Structures are given as structure tokens and as C-alpha cells.
Chains A and B, each alone.
Chain A
């Protein structure tokens, strides 16, 4: 096994690029957890919906993959709030495990619905962006990865801006900190939950459009990406926005460096190993302070 510097540098570059997308995916999950303490086990499957939607918009209607953001984002927003209204809202006050089981059921439904509708084929797209790369000091970066990375950062900053400065953002943060106090201050907490769930899902629409040009979609794509999102969210501290971003980059780097220096799929063991170690020794995440 050779660990040449260029291999490592290449792995770091690719790791950061995909890490940016992991971060965006995870921010949706951490937003939902932070506001209503629900772990959406169907998060990966929502992303899968976005990926299929992007795929069909590109292949059937010849849309530019990055223009599909204008459709996938609102689509995922409304799918999110639709599912929230029908299934999650009625059991908001039930034990947390019931909510987890419910979203697990939703993920089973979506995943196997995709299997029934689209078969198990792995689908990817070729667009006019495919095949364009830049070489900087021996490190090759593809245009699609680069767009995904910066697109994710812009989306993250936009969401951060919304949460920090707008009324909606203030409602969401108030509902996250103390729902009862928020109600007393006149915040419509139920509506805020709905919005937060929709926004968390909408992140996946953006992520899907950015991801597909250099990734793929299949009925089980959400299984792996969903697990990655859990890993990132725990790493960053559940509900911690910036933590999820840093966590996304870390896991992107781990995956890519691990794949460069470890044989076969052993790098996955590294990823899950980091996850378990964090859960055991720092369940509050890298950035958060330990709660008393």
C-alpha cells in the first residue's frame, strides 16, 4: 500500500467536496431534531425522492441539473409538511420511540415504493457539466463536485441567515428552546414545527440536485446517506447547526481518506467507529458544551 502525498491530498479534496453535501443533508436533520426532538428516520428516503425527482427532470425534460433546485426544493418542502401533517403531527406528544418507529415505517414505505416503481437499478445522469475537471497541484477536482460544495455552503449560509434574522427563524429558535414559553409569547408552535419540518426537508431538495450530477440514485441510496446524516448530526451535537456543518466535513474527510488508505469497504468501519466513540464519550457533540 502506498501513501503518496498526492493520494492523500486528492482524498482530502474529494472528502471536503462530498463533506459539504453531507453537511447540507445533515443540517436538515439537525434542524428537525433541534426544534421538535424527532429523529426523522425517513430523512435519507426524503433525499432519495429528491434524487429521483432530479433524475427525471434531467432525463425526461432535459432540464439543467442545477435549475432543478427550483423544483426539488419546494417539492421536498411540501412533501415534508404533507407527511408531517398526516403522520407526525398526530403523535407529537407520544413517547419518542413511537415517533422513531413511525418514521422508520415511513422510510420502509418510501424505500420499497421506489423499489416497486423504479426497480433496483442504479441510475445516474450525464450532463454538460460531466467530465470537466480542474487540476491544481496534481489534485483533480471535478466541476460537479465543486458546484455541489459551494452550493451547499451557500444554502447553509442562507438557512443560517433565515434562522438568525427573520421572524420565521425567531419562531423556530424560540420553539426549539422552550415550546411553552414560545406559546406564551404568541408563537404558533404547531405551525412553527410544520415550517421547520418543511425547511429541514427542503434542504434535501437542494442537496439532491447538487448531488446527482456526480452521484447516483437507487431505492436504497437513502439508507446509506441517511445513516451518514445520523453520524454527522451526532458528531456535531444533535440540534447544533454549525456542529452539523463541521461534522459533515469531518465525515466527508473520514470516508474519503479511509477509502484511500484502507482496503475494501473497511473505511465504513472507521466512519461508524467514530460515530460510536462520539456517542459514548461526547454525546453532546464536538462543538456543544456538556449540558448539566
Chain B
């Protein structure tokens, strides 16, 4: 029964969240959609970054692939984004496999892996900016058709809300599922001690590549949704460094390697950032990113396990339950 209860909790939570838009103004539904987009992307990133401990700083690459694939196919071949999404996911799988194989094959990790992923996403920005068929630096606009469920376009915000709600629920269920699966254990083994995992017979290279592919595929689907919701894709908008940073931000602040961390991070931060942008955006451009930077620094200094990690350790201290939160990996190459 316990096994099903773990899956029941997310279903109930998201089911209840599904009633919220019925009582909220359009603007708040929009914020809800933003929360879910970032929660979804951060949950996807968390599989690689949190579970497997490989911090990609270039997830914009996969998001961009997903966004551009579906938009390009819809514009040029009239292909529905519902199918284009899966095409983008397939491309992202290939890209994720290549990036994973190329980097992990040579044992790149930590800072080096982070740098390669930034460079690849940044290279993608310039490739797409110079690619005429992809609209160059101007990007592509999704042709607006009014409400057309077949083309994943709607006049109101509600349908978008429910699409991304279901997507995020699926992402959270995937994370929850990993918690109890061998693949998930392998990821954590790789994160905690790669040599030991290898000695125990874990195929660490394959595990890391698979984690990268799974994470990339999920991120790409988020890219398609992003393009449909904002009806625009541009090189910097989807491949840019700021996207990659925001994707990992919520996971890290919420709690690395936890099921609920990315969602908690997005639920807390996105509304504050959006209000900051709405209130101060005209006068102080970048106010919300300033806030993100401050929160990131605060998190690293005072609660490196994130909000969920903090709550877990406080709970275990009060109720004396075993602390099952993420244990910090030993410093690698850190100065002593």
C-alpha cells in the first residue's frame, strides 16, 4: 500500500491545485502557469543535477531544441505541436546522448562538465542566430490561430494551465518513481561515490548518459510548451544562459535531489520574482534576477540542502525520525 501512497500524494496535490484557477483572476493563473513551467523544467534538470549529481549549466540547449523543433515543424509543415513535441524530444534525446557520451566518456565532471554544457548551449545560441531557416537572431513566431486544440493554441489561459499541470505532475511522478527504482538508486550511487558504485558493478557511464538523456527529453517537452504559451522562440530566449541558470535555480533553492524541491522552489520564488518584475520592472529592469541571485547566494551560504533539505533536517531533529534527506557529497577537489 505504501508504494501507491507515494504516488497518490502528488496526484492529490496536483488534483487540488487543478481547482485553483476556478477562483483566481487571469493574471494569477498566468503566474500559476509560470510556476509550473519552471517547476517542470527544474524537476527535469533535477534528475541529472540532483539525483545523479552532474550539474548541467546548459539545459537551455535541450529546451531550445524542443521549442525550435515543434515551432519550425508547425510553421513549415503544419505539423501539430503535439507531435512536434515528440520530434523535439527525439532530437533532444540524441543531443543528450551525444553530450553525455562525449563528456562522461572522458570522465569530465564537476566544474568541467558545467563548463562544457555552458559552452554547448552558448554555441547553440550562435548557430541558431545564423541559421536562416530558423529565423536567425529574430527567432520564430508561432502563428496565432485563435483557439485550436489541435495546434495546442488557446485563447484563454486555463487550457495551458491544465496542460502544464499534467506535465509537471508526470515529471514529479517520474522523480518519485526514480526514488524506488534501481535506476534511481544507481543515480544516487554515482552521485555519492562514483568509484564505489563502479566497484559494486554499476555501469556508471551508462547510468550518467541515461540520466542526461531522460533529463534532456523531459526538458525539450517543456521547451515546446514554452514556445506554444509565449508564441515566440528566439535564440537567447530559449538557449540563453539565463534560461539555463533559472532552470537549475529552483531545483537548488528548493532542494537538490528531492522530489518536491524544484516545485517548492518555484512556488516560493516565481510569484515574488513576478511581482518584483511587474512592480519594478519598468523602472528597475532585472530586479527579479537580482532577487534570484541574492536567494541563490543565501541558499548556498546558509542552507545548502535547499528548503526541502532544511525542513527534513528540522523535522528529523524534532521527531527524532531518521534523516533521509540528501547527504552532502564529500568535497571533491575542494581545498582543505
Residue ranges of A at the interface with B (Cβ–Cβ < 8 Å): 36-39, 87, 90-102, 104-113, 115-116, 119-120, 179-180, 189, 193, 219, 223, 227, 230-231, 234, 263-266, 268-269, 272-273, 275-276, 279-281, 283
Closest CB pairs A-B (n = 7) = A108-B293, A105-B296, A112-B286, A115-B286, A109-B293, A105-B297, A272-B123
Contact status A272-B122, CB under 8 Å: yes
Task: Verify if B110 is at the interface (C-beta below 8 Å from A).
Answer: yes
Contact status B118-A227, CB under 8 Å: yes
Contact status A95-B119, CB under 8 Å: no
| B301 CB, min distance to chain A CBs, angstroms | 6
Contact status B123-A268, CB under 8 Å: yes
Q: In whole angstroms, what is the CA distance A96 to B332 when docked?
A: 6
| A278 CB, min distance to chain B CBs, angstroms | 10
Contact status B119-A91, CB under 8 Å: no
Contact status A95-B290, CB under 8 Å: no
Contact status A279-B108, CB under 8 Å: yes
| A141 CB, min distance to chain B CBs, angstroms | 28
| A233 CB, min distance to chain B CBs, angstroms | 9
Q: In whole angstroms, what is the CA distance A51 to B112 when docked?
A: 28
Task: Verify if B115 is at the interface (C-beta below 8 Å from A).
Answer: yes
Nearest CB to that of B111 among chain A residues?
Answer: A39
Contact status A120-B252, CB under 8 Å: no
Q: In whole angstroms, what is the CA distance A227 to B119 when docked?
A: 8
- B294: A residues at CB distance < 8 A: 105, 109
| B124 CB, min distance to chain A CBs, angstroms | 9
Nearest CB to that of B121 among chain A residues?
Answer: A272
Contact status B304-A283, CB under 8 Å: no
Q: Would A266 and B111 be within 8 Å (CB), given that A102-B301, A280-B106 are in contact? A: no
A-B contact pairs, 18 of them (CB 8 A): A91-B300, A92-B334, A93-B334, A93-B335, A93-B336, A96-B334, A101-B299, A104-B296, A105-B295, A109-B290, A111-B286, A234-B112, A264-B129, A266-B126, A269-B127, A272-B123, A279-B103, A283-B108
Known interface pairs A265-B130, A280-B106; 14 further A-B residue pairs with C-beta atoms within 8 A, sorted by A's residue number:
A37-B333, A39-B111, A101-B248, A101-B252, A104-B57, A105-B293, A111-B293, A266-B127, A269-B127, A272-B126, A279-B115, A280-B103, A283-B106, A283-B112
Q: In whole angstroms, what is the CA distance A266 to B124 when docked?
A: 10
Q: In whole angstroms, what is the CA distance A167 to B292 when docked?
A: 41
Contact status B245-A104, CB under 8 Å: yes
Q: In whole angstroms, what is the CA distance A105 to B295 when docked?
A: 8
Q: Would A95 and B328 be within 8 Å (CB), given that A101-B252, A230-B115 are in contact? A: yes
- B252: A residues at CB distance < 8 A: 101
Nearest CB to that of B335 among chain A residues?
Answer: A36
Contact status A37-B335, CB under 8 Å: yes
- B112: A residues at CB distance < 8 A: 234, 279, 283
Q: In whole angstroms, what is the CA distance A223 to B57 when docked?
A: 14
Instruction: From the candidates B119, B123, B241, name the one contacting A279 in the complex (CB within 8 A).
Output: B119
Q: In whole angstroms, what is the CA distance A265 to B235 when docked?
A: 13
Contact status B300-A112, CB under 8 Å: no
Instruction: From the candidates A102, A116, A275, name the one contacting B285 in the complex (CB within 8 A).
Output: A116
Contact status A87-B331, CB under 8 Å: no
Task: Verify if B289 is at the interface (C-beta below 8 Å from A).
Answer: yes
- B287: A residues at CB distance < 8 A: 112, 116
Q: In whole angstroms, what is the CA distance A102 to B296 when docked?
A: 7
Q: Which of B269-313 contact A (CB under 8 A)?
A: 284-287, 289-290, 292-297, 299-301, 304
Q: Would A107 and B115 be within 8 Å (CB), given that A98-B304, A116-B287 are in contact? A: no
Task: Verify if B205 is at the interface (C-beta below 8 Å from A).
Answer: no
- A93: B residues at CB distance < 8 A: 331, 334-336
Q: Would A112 and B293 be within 8 Å (CB), given that A96-B111, A283-B112 are in contact? A: yes
- A120: B residues at CB distance < 8 A: 285
| B310 CB, min distance to chain A CBs, angstroms | 15
Q: In whole angstroms, what is the CA distance A104 to B333 when docked?
A: 19
Q: In whole angstroms, what is the CA distance A277 to B116 when docked?
A: 9
Q: In whole angstroms, what is the CA distance A100 to B114 when docked?
A: 9
| B35 CB, min distance to chain A CBs, angstroms | 20
- B328: A residues at CB distance < 8 A: 94-95
| B42 CB, min distance to chain A CBs, angstroms | 14
Task: Verify if B102 is at the interface (C-beta below 8 Å from A).
Answer: yes
Contact status B119-A231, CB under 8 Å: yes
Q: Would A97 and B290 be within 8 Å (CB), given that A91-B300, A102-B301, A283-B108 are in contact? A: no
Contact status A230-B129, CB under 8 Å: no
Instruction: From the candidates B289, B297, B304, B331, name the one contacting A96 in the complex (CB within 8 A).
Output: B331
Nearest CB to that of B296 among chain A residues?
Answer: A105
Task: Verify if B329 is at the interface (C-beta below 8 Å from A).
Answer: yes
Contact status A234-B126, CB under 8 Å: no
Contact status B289-A112, CB under 8 Å: yes
